[in-house]
Structure 1
Amino acid sequence: MQEAAEKKSELKKSCINCGAEMLYAPGTTELQCEYCGYSQQIPPNESGFQELELNTYLDSLGHHSHSQAILMLQCKNCGANQHIEEHYKSLHCVYCNSPLIIEDAQKEEWILPGAVLPFQIDQKSAHRIFQKWVKGLWWAPNKLKKASLDPQNTKGLYSPYWTFDAQLYANYVGQRGDYYYVSVPYTTTVNGKTVTRMRQERRTRWTPASGSISGFVDDTLIKASTQRSGVIPRKVARWDLSKLVPFDSSYLSGFVTEKYTIPLKDGHLDAEKEAERIADRWARRDIGGDTQRIHSIDMRLTEQTFKHILLPVYISAYRYKGKRYNFFVNGQSGVLSGQRPYSFWKIFLFVLMIIAILSVIVFFTNQG
């Protein structure tokens, strides 16, 4: 089992023609050599996703049956744990651009990914999206526009997530609210006279409700890493998980891979909170009516499984006047989001220009 895991997670693939490292070509199922152009098909995995039984791993009994050691570098600035492949000559953290020291690399155990969402857009496309966005920014510092010209500032990252599946059962007690309307008199003034009119007011009729709900909770997505800064925005962190493929390390070749820093146990606690929100929605739907009150829900989860999955994002890190800014591009959809700095001098000069124009207008108006 351990030998199979090592073979499955072996990251470097060499070109059979020239010996250079083969890199995954986004949007395809191929590895390509950037030196001689040779391409190699990534064989499909017929075994499907590997869902792991949750309780076994929470008890640490199954941890070593599906885990493997991988060489990791931890950023001392933001805390991100990342595997940097050989073709990255400049070792810098993908989140904060701080230098990484190769001598600090350590082997760490990780639960092997069960699935990966391959990049669908390449680095050049992601960088063009970033450049277009920068060019459209008003009052952006010139240094930012210069930084956007260097594609090396945009790096592809596979970010780790947990997904949890479970059968959900729950009993609930609450109330069903049905709207009805009554006519209520009110007074108003018309042409100096006080008159009485009628208006409709909404009321709610409450009736007791209780029942049972059940269903399958599929792929609850929980972020599996955290940094002191550089968090992927919600706008970008939306992927079509139906496009997940069984894990093959070939898809990682040419990209940075981040290791989870949120333990499985903590991720499961977040998943349980999400399951409670799902149970609340299901109970309200079961109660029906126009509105609902939930007094209590007794929830139970069974047949719980999980996957460690890797999701694609491009990150550009930029520092301006001592403050770091991150720009993110979803590696599947191309959606962009990020913080931006403002140039004080550009805004100052613009205000001066407006004042000068207004002064000229006032001067000629007074002359006339």
Structure 2
Amino acid sequence: MDQIQRSEHKKGCANCGAELRYKPGSQQLHCDYCGYEEFIEAAKSSFEELELQHYLKIVGNNAHAQTIQLLHCKNCGANQHVEEHYKSLKCVYCSEPLILEDMEREGWILPTALVPFQLDLKEARAIFRKWVNGLWWAPDKLKKAALDPEGLHGLYLPYWTFDAHLRAHYRGQRGDHYYERQTYRTKQGRQTRQVRKTRWRHVSGTVSGLLDDILIVASQEKGRQLPAKIAFWNLKELVAFNSKYLSGFVTEKYTVSLKEGHHRSFQQAKRMANTWIRRDIGGDAQRIHQTDIALSNETFKHILLPVYISAYRYNGKNYHFYINGQTGTVTGGRPYSFWKIFFLVLFVLVVIALIAIFAP
């Protein structure tokens, strides 16, 4: 995973010169040392939708080359970028130390917009601790990990969004259910029952509509897929991209190309077209024999969305825990304590044995 460009003109605190960080849920940068705050210029609520076919032709050449700096994890291969000093920084996925890589130049597309973090680190830790404490049979080490102030990291994940006008011609069949009385024999004699049947007729037609913000994750590697439970953001809160929102957080660059992202969005468009077609056919059942789909006025955005992540290793296996940085929804894989379960089962067996011995 390559990462977002480091700001070339980073501004320090006007009072003490320390680094300013974005204050989640606000329009301000904050100094952790002296408390100084600086406003981020008013964010635009509207931003340019980029013309898809134009970018598909030019992306990959040097027309959009940017200088980026990577922090590389030798353990899991992830590359991360931070808008802060990287000394002693650990990988958000496996907690191994990150190593500074050489500068690289490559063609890539800058983010158009982002959803800023609405939860600060203190709030995220409180949510994480509450969730962990509610887990039955969790190892004590996991509960201690939830208290580790260095164990939770804010991460901006890259996504593609695609808009288009969809028009689909279809041929198929509409099925309408009806019932017939059927007689059959049993040991008790002749019985009757209602049997459902379907009357089919051929249909054809056209559906059309606007596809708005088909969301495609742009950083997807085996073993690090974001759980669907937290992958919901209110995109109405997108603001125009400003690198100041990245300060204090880790940011990933997309690894799913624009071309691949477009291919995946088309698969979603096909599923949406089938839904529209079935609704248009109507009846009790539908069969779709042929569909010709055309997309026009295709545009896209490269956006960043906020999530907190904690990596925990138990019995040789990595577990990841996630908090949606906008909504506070939490989920993750979890280990079970063998010994807690063992002693509970043992306790239950002892209780049963005592009841059996002393029962009258």
Given candidates 289, 313, 323, the residue that maps to 1:295 is 289
Distance 1:163 1:30, change over 3 A: same
After superposition, where does 1:1-368 map in structure 2 within 5 Å? 10=8, 12-46=10-44, 48-60=46-58, 68-87=66-85, 89-102=87-100, 104-109=101-106, 110-188=108-186, 194-365=188-359, 368=360
Structure 1 range deviating more: 28-37 or 330-339: 28-37
- Residue 48 of structure 1: how far off its partner (Å): 2.4
| Aligned partner letter, 1:324 | N
> TM-score, normalized by length of structure 1?
0.90
Cα distance between partner residues in 2 of 1:286 and 1:231 = 35
Q: In 2, distance between residues paired with 1:105 and 1:182?
A: 76
Cα offset for 1:243? Answer: 1.3
Q: Distance in 2 between matches of 1:173 and 1:129?
A: 51
State the secondary structure of the residue aligned to 2:204: strand
**Structure 1 position 160, deviation (Å):** 0.4
What's the CA shift for 1:359? 1.3
User: 1 CA distance for matches of 2:99 and 2:26?
Assistant: 33
Contact 1:11 1:249 in 2 (8 A): no
Structure 1 distance, partners of 2:252, 2:5, is 18
**Structure 1: 5+ residue stretches without partners:** none
Alignment check: 8 A CA contact 1:317 1:325 kept: yes
Displacement of 1:335 in angstroms is 0.7
SS at match of 1:235: helix
Greater mean deviation of Cα atoms: 110-119 or 60-69? 60-69
TM-score, length-normalised on structure 2?
A: 0.92
Which range is displaced more, 38-47 or 234-243? 38-47
Cα distance, 1:124 vs structure 2: 1.2
RMSD (Å) for aligned C-alpha atoms: 2.2
Per-residue CA deviations over 1:87-109 (Å, capped at 9, x if unaligned) read 4543111122122112x253344
Q: Answer whether contact 2:169 2:206 (CA < 8 A) is retained.
A: yes
Quick check: 2:310–2:322 contact (8 Å CA) kept in 1?
A: yes
Q: Give 1:207 shift.
A: 1.1
Deviation at 1:195, TM superposition (A): 3.9
CA pair 236-84 structure 1, distance change in 2 beyond 3 A: same
Query: SS state of the match for residue 58, structure 2?
Result: coil
* 1:61 CA displacement: 5.8
User: Residue 242 of structure 2 aligns to which amino acid in structure 1?
Assistant: D
The worse-fitting range, judged by mean Cα deviation, of 61-70 and 221-230 is 61-70
Residues 279, 261 of structure 1: alpha-carbon distance in 2 compared, 3 angstrom cutoff: same
CA contact (8 A) 1:96 1:230 kept: no
Q: Distance in 2 between matches of 1:339 and 1:47?
A: 36
Q: Report deviation, 1:241.
A: 1.2
In the alignment, the residues of structure 2 paired with residue 312 and residue 357 of structure 1 have an alpha-carbon distance, to the nearest angstrom, of 49
Distance verdict in 2 for CA 1:83–1:61, change over 3 Å = closer
The number of residue pairs the alignment matches comes to: 356
Distance 1:11 1:167 in 2: 40
1:62: Cα distance to partner?
A: 8.8
Structure 2, unmatched stretches of 5+, are: none
Q: Are 2:82 and 2:248, in contact at CA under 8 Å, matched by a contact in 1? A: no
For residues 76 and 226 of structure 1, the distance between their equivalents in structure 2, rounded to whole angstroms, comes to: 18
The percentage of counterpart residues that share the same residue type is 57
Question: CA offsets, 1:244-286, max 9 Å, x none?
Answer: 1111111111100011111111111101111111111111111
